[in-house]
Structure 1
């Protein structure tokens, strides 16, 4: 054929193909490109993985065949020398049972006579000469092709060949099954990826238009918290209705953000008032105990001492001294109760000092070994409401440990982070099942959970019967007033 004519023919064919491709809409083009790339990549990856997996499994079968044959040769040495053919048969049978893909195993003596094998229906006639090994060789493996598939036949000399040869045949059927399963999985994955790719390409064609891109941009602005931007409606079709709905949604989100901020402020104020009222009541009770009841007990001590000075009877003085001891102990307990109700050191020196003093008292009172770690709190103060809540949480948790856990050691860690305070309280006591926490038996835990919830925090309990308990309490730091005002200005 004339080269010029051939060139014109090729040009016409290319033009015809390009004309057909150009007539296809852009959605079909993108779908075709994605489907073609995914299919091509899936086929290439499937072929490469199949070849690599087949090579790897073949080498693994070769190494297993060698290891099994050497193990059989080592264990068969004494049996061959003692002519214990029954023991030799049992060795081969146990080896085959422990290795399900072992097709056969047999032992030949130094004369080449088969003295033990695992073939129940008779030894195959051509198998003996299919592989051999000399006394100087470590082993020799041959890949045999049979009607049952490929088999690694490995021969190993026994006692340097003077006692015979041990041979095993490891079937590669597992390799074929694994490769076939992996190939099917890769093909299935390719089809799934193709489906995902087609879906993604279809979605991509829709976002190529100007209104959709504009909505995407505005959506990203809303995700950043900017509710002030609005999309302009450019048509009266479905996209125009979508833009109107989007604008309405932005307005609703802006109003909801403002209401949520105000609600969070009100909740914070309410929680502060509740906790302040509780602590104020504790202060009042502590003052009453100290000023009224404490003074009455002190007056009683003075009266008992005066009574003892006026009477010189040994029996009466002994009874008075006993009463003075009881009153003194009650007064001491009363002072301790007043300090527990509201420790003045919490107001004066802060959470770190209050916890250090409280834990020292717990150590002295209970004999429990308690470690206290306060990273980030030694030289700084927290919000008073937060300090009070953390103090009460630690107080309640350690009270539970002392009363119920039968523990010998405990630890308290309170760490101040960038946006929250995290408390970890751990003991080595008897533990319990957190899924069976009941209202009556675990009032302390309920109190801790309620305090954390009031401050928008959370309590996580990790415990196992017999292995101790760990409490994780996370409380968010209060938002500064400047940040709240700035958030209000953005929402408006």
Structure 2
């Protein structure tokens, strides 16, 4: 039974908000406490008043017994009647009083129509010194009947009846007063509970509203902190959490913008790579057709001339011409092959390939290039992916320098450390605004810097660039070293 009641209370409690819970608990506590106090006080007061009524009955019966002894012996019935009436008049709880002589006859009483017969024998004394009490139920209420012997019962018996209706009325009046006090306290308690509920509920309500706005993405919402208690600490912690979330949201938006920009650059790079691939194929096809094809056609003509001419001197001249054509063809094929992938990189390694690259750019562009290498004492070669990436970064850097910078002097420093390679590429060209370059849409047409950065990041390296207009540009590249006998680079 108690378990069912507890479950019902739990279901009801879960269905209402905190404010109603506090009001319900407070009102319920006051009502239960008031009812318990009222019942307990009623029982205590009623028992005390009934005890006082019994004491009063004992006292009155003894007094009447003492005062009526001489009157009964001298047969002064009138005075005895007057004594009984005065006793009833002076004690409002006395309902009746009468005296029975030793013969069992009623000689004086306070009844208007005579003493009821059944009342005479309903109570008798059992002790010569103390009255005998008996509770009588009547249609008008309960009567406490006392029988007190006169002179030990030798003369007669005094009987008095005390009505407890006054006691019940007094108890009801006291109960009503307690109930009124309980009701007043309930009203005060409800008011206090309402104030307390608002004091507790409003901060929680503000936190709930702010939480809903947080869930909607509004991290600027803050709660008002007006106290230094636990709710105040909770509000301060909530506001601090909001500041942290707002900061994180800002960082996430910046990261998202950077990712979107990088994705756009990647798409542009991919597009340019595909375009460059097709252009490279077209160039190779054109050079094979225009250069190598023509040389091979000239070789065919020379062979035809040898077939048609029979003189020795013309034969030797045609053979010499064929050798020259074949030599030019071989040189052209090597040039095309070297542009597609430098064979010196595969045959001799990174440093000789870069030296060859620097020499070619110097001869073609007539620019002074200083190439310095520090710390290169490794007997093992770097991973092939690493070497081609470093080569392409330097190739792209030199291409950009000669296309855009108008530099007269260029320096390349490669510093090999124990676990990393640091590359510094510096020129004294016209320079540019780095921030403007990365924040503008120039990456759609000038993807060289982005390509070098992407290549460096693909091998877990770092790429930084510094430039000022009119001063020049410096590129810093740091790449972790991985040798050919180690695991492949994790991309």
Tell me, yes or no, whether TM beats 0.5. Answer: no
Q: TM tier, shorter chain?
A: 0.3 to 0.5
Q: Considering only CA atoms, is the larger Rg found in Structure 1 or Structure 2?
A: 2
